[in-house]
């Protein structure tokens, strides 16, 4: 089964790299800031679809990844989506400070990968989240 993925990333190169790594496993939509991400997420829900995976950058214009994460979880809570139903969100960011890291987990991200992103690392997380078989 191919995954439905949302890549949220404002930097062109990073986006390209990420999409390249993920392309064997699924199809993706792209958003370039938090606001777009939240809209894409709720639109999908309204259409009866769900993202299996959301890769979320933190430093972005308009709305940053932390706020987007919060907003997405808020929507899920309102719609009573929890447990395995909820979207798997991986933070993909250059920010490696503990404050951002803690906050992201506190807001219920599933994983936190610090750029530069290595394929191995990403795949390991996908595997841990049960999205792809172990590689």
Partner 1 sequence: MAEKDNSIGRMIESLSLQICILEAEDIPGMGKVYETISELEKSMPNSPCIAFSDIVQGVKQYLDRFVLNDVTDSKPLGDGVAMLQAIWRDISSGREFTFDVTDILEGLGYIPEDQKKTSGKEINATGSMEAHEDKPEAARSTGLTDEDLDITRDFVVESRGNLEVVELNLIKLEQNPDDMETINAIFRSFHTIKGVSGFLKLDKMNRFCHHTESLMDGARSGKLTINDEVADLILESIDTLKLMLEEVEKCLETRHTTSFDLIDVEKLIEKIQAVHTSDGNKIPLGKILLDSDVITEKGLRESLKIQKKHSEKKLGEILVREQNVDPEAIKSALKAQTLGKRATSLQVKVDTEKLDNLVDLTGELVIAQSMFRQLGQTLTADNPIFFHQLNQVTQAVSAIQKIAMSMRMVPIKNTFQKMFRLVRDLAKNSEKEADLSMSGEDTEIDRNVVDELYEPMVHMIRNSVDHGLESPVERESSGKNRKGSIYLRAFQRGGNIVIEIEDDGKGLDKNRILEKAIERNLITRGENLSEKEIYEFIMHPGFSTAKEITDISGRGVGMDVVKKSIEKLRGRLEIHSREGKGTVFTISLPLTMAIVEGMLVRVGKERYIIPTHSIIQSYRPDRKHCYTVENKGEMVRHRENLLPLVRISRLFNVKEDVTDPWNAIVVVTENHGVQKALLLDELLGKEEFVIKNLGETFREIKGLAGSAILADGKVGLILDIAGLFQAAVA
Could you give the maximum distance between any two Cα atoms of the chain, in Å? 37
Report the nearest approach of partner 1 to the CB of residue 62 (Å).
25
| β-bridge mates for residue 116, sequence order | none
- The yes or no reply on residue 5 touching partner 1 (CB under 8 A) is no
Round to whole Å and give the CA distance between 66 and 3.
Answer: 23
End-to-end CA distance of the chain: 16
Residues numbered 12 to 41 that lie near partner 1 (CB under 8 A) are: 17, 20-21
Q: Which is nearer to partner 1, 42 or 108 (CB)?
A: 108
Q: Does 61 bind partner 1 (CB under 8 A)?
A: no
Please tell me whether residue 69 binds partner 1 under the rule CB under 8 A: no
| Packing angle, helices 65-78 and 34-46, rounded to 10 | 20
Between CA 8 and CA 10, with CA 9 as vertex, the angle to 5 degrees is 135
Residues in 70-129 that interact with partner 1 by CB under 8 A:
82-83, 96-99, 101-102, 104-106, 108-112, 115-121, 123, 127-128
User: Sign (positive/negative) of CA torsion 125, 110, 65, 87?
Assistant: positive
- Decide whether 59 or 102 has the Cβ nearer to partner 1: 102
Tell me if 59 contacts partner 1 by CB under 8 A: no
Binding site residues, partner 1, CB under 8 A: 17, 20-21, 82-83, 96-99, 101-102, 104-106, 108-112, 115-121, 123, 127-128, 132-135
């Amino acid at each position: 089964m191919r995954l439905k993925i949302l890549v949220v990333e404002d930097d062109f190169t990073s986006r390209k790299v990420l999409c390249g790594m993920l392309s064997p496993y699924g199809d993706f939509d792209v958003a370039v800031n938090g606001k777009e991400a939240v809209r894409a997420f709720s639109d999908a829900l309204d259409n009866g679809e769900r993202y299996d995976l959301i890769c979320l950058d933190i430093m972005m214009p308009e709305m940053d990844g932390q706020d987007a994460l919060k907003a997405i979880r808020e929507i899920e809570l309102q719609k009573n989506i929890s447990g395995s139903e909820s979207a798997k969100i991986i933070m993909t960011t250059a920010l490696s400070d503990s404050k951002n890291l803690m906050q992201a987990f506190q807001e219920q991200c599933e994983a936190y990968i610090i750029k530069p992103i290595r394929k191995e690392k990403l795949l390991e997380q996908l595997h841990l989240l049960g999205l792809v078989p172990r590689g």
